[in-house]
């Protein structure tokens, strides 16, 4: 076979989209780091479970998954092999890990500068995992959360394992809602208002947003993708930021069917739960009725699901920031305003220079939510001047409460957990008293 014929064959191969049941092709991949060679052939891993982990340097969820991937690799040793794949160049990936000294890099091969595998396994969102069995057969293309010790054990033992397929995502923002459910798009121009509730559709995503169908007007459209019932109620009763129910303990569920209203804690149960109990929801009201948008959504939810919900004040445990001593060290010395609180970086220190304390509070609150901290973050300092402050990246990035408490105390700030009256959302099977 001529060199040109081989090149054309390879170009055709790499343009194919592989699916479960297909064999992994014989591919020699370059730009490999963290391995005993700068090249790697996926077929070399036949005889063991191979899991390809697509990730990116800007993907927080991917980076948080690294310690889990490392522990799973160590747990199952030579029975499995994770291979991490990203599109960033080899040099930029090496620089990233050099800067991110506090990041746990798993002891697995990394394929960098990838174009081949991402063409064979196209995807919009990461982490994105491909499971390949000992014969080189693709078994699952699924979400990263399915990489658990229980699932891997079942797979290796030959037990029946059904992981939801993560299909190449089809973006649909419900500009054509009838098409999304198989209707006739020629009637779309006659739509005045509507609401639509679907079970979560694999491979199809809708925008999670509150927007306007008329540029410059007040929002009159709500879209949610694969949301739990409690998430839908949270959107409806938060009223576009009037209330904040994003912390787990600010939503109280009084229902005999509580397990149907929120995601299960066990990741091994997510696929089945999402299929049965998560929803795509869309609401559009006429622009003239935009002020009733959230009221209409609440009416929808009551009609669709039948639960009663109220917003009221309750004492719940909160993370409270207050002044406890001399805060003269906080006062800014002036200069250019700058901060690295909002970026992923390899800096060992997080800093905020000549900016209001409330900016630090907002960053801490958002970090607490992203790290799954189970309670609201409340500012009781009543301090409105600009500050200079530095915190260790280890404490800030992981929202390590005890370390943050110690570091903030040195600046005259007290961070403590205590019961605090705040607004909560109560979802109930029946009407309840607020007393």
Return the pLDDT at 249: 94
In what helix (H) or strand (E) does residue 5 lie, and over which residues does it extend?
A: helix 3-14
Using left for φ > 0, alpha for ψ between -120 and 50, and beta otherwise, residue 113 falls in: left
CA dist 338 and 236 (Å) reads: 36
pLDDT digits (tens, 9 = 90+) for 291-316: 999 999 999 999 999 999 999 999 99
**Backbone φ and ψ of 83, nearest 5°:** -130, 120
Q: Of the candidates 328, 143, 307, 293, which has an alpha carbon nearest to the alpha carbon of residue 221? A: 293
Return the pLDDT at 192: 74
Half-sphere exposure of 296 (CA within 13 A, CB side): 18
The residue among 183 and 402 whose pLDDT is bigger is 402
CA dist 211 and 215 (Å) reads: 9
Return the pLDDT at 381: 92
Beta strand 204-205 with 170-171: parallel, antiparallel or unpaired? parallel
Return the pLDDT at 137: 97
pLDDT digits (tens, 9 = 90+) for 9-40: 444 555 589 999 999 999 899 999 999 999 99
CA dist 121 and 307 (Å) reads: 41
Q: Of the candidates 294, 211, 281, which has an alpha carbon nearest to the alpha carbon of residue 245? A: 294
Kindly indicate the confidence band of residue 411, based on its pLDDT and cuts at 50, 70 and 90.
confident
Q: Across the chain, what does the average pLDDT equal? A: 88
- Token pair of 179 as six digits: 């098409």
Domains and CATH numbers, the chain: 3-156 (3.40.30.10), 170-308 (no CATH), 315-424 (no CATH)
User: C-alpha dihedral over 422, 425, 429, 432, to 10 degrees?
Assistant: 40
Are the CB atoms for 175 and 209 separated by under 8 Å? Answer: no
Return the pLDDT at 185: 52
Return the pLDDT at 10: 47
Are the CB atoms for 361 and 330 separated by under 8 Å? Answer: no
pLDDT digits (tens, 9 = 90+) for 264-282: 999 999 999 999 999 999 8
């Amino acid at each position: 076979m001529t060199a040109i014929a081989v090149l054309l064959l390879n170009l055709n191969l790499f343009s194919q989209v592989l699916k479960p049941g297909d064999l992994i092709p014989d591919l020699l991949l370059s730009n490999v780091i963290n391995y005993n060679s700068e090249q790697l052939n996926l077929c070399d891993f036949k005889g063991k479970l191979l899991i390809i982990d697509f990730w990116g340097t800007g993907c927080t969820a991917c980076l948080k998954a690294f310690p889990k991937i490392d522990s799973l690799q160590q747990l199952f040793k030579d029975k499995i092999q994770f291979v991490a794949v990203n599109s960033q160049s080899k040099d930029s990936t090496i620089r990233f890990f050099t800067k991110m000294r506090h990041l746990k890099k798993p002891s697995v091969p990394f394929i960098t500068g990838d174009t081949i595998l991402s063409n064979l396994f196209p995807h919009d969102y990461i982490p994105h995992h491909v499971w390949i069995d000992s014969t080189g057969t693709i078994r699952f293309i699924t979400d990263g959360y399915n990489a658990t010790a229980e699932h891997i054990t079942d797979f290796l033992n030959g037990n029946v394992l059904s992981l939801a397929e993560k299909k190449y995502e089809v973006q649909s923002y419900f500009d054509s809602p009838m098409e999304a459910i198989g209707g006739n798009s020629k009637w779309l121009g006659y739509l005045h208002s509507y609401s639509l509730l679907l079970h979560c559709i694999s491979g199809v995503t809708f925008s999670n947003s509150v927007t306007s169908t008329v540029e410059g007007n007040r929002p009159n459209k709500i879209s949610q993708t694969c949301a739990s019932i409690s998430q839908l109620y949270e959107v409806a009763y938060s009223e576009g930021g009037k209330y904040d129910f994003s912390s787990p303990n600010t939503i109280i569920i009084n229902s005999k069917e509580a397990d149907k209203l929120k995601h299960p804690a066990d990741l091994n149960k997510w696929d089945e739960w999402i299929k049965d109990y998560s929803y795509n929801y869309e609401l559009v009201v006429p622009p003239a009725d935009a002020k009733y948008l959230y009221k209409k959504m609440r009416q929808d939810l009551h009609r669709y699901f039948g639960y009663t919900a109220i917003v009221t004040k309750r004492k719940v445990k909160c993370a409270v920031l207050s002044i406890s001593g001399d805060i003269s060290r906080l006062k800014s010395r002036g200069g250019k305003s700058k901060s690295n609180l909002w970026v992923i970086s390899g800096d060992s220190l997080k800093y905020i220079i000549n900016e209001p304390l409330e900016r630090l509070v907002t960053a801490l609150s958002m970090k607490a939510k992203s790290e799954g901290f189970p309670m609201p973050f409340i500012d009781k300092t009543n301090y409105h001047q600009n500050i200079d402050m530095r915190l260790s990246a280890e404490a800030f990035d992981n929202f390590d409460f005890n370390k943050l408490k110690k570091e903030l105390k040195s600046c005259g700030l007290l961070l403590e957990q205590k019961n605090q009256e705040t607004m909560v959302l109560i979802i109930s099977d029946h009407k309840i008293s607020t007393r």
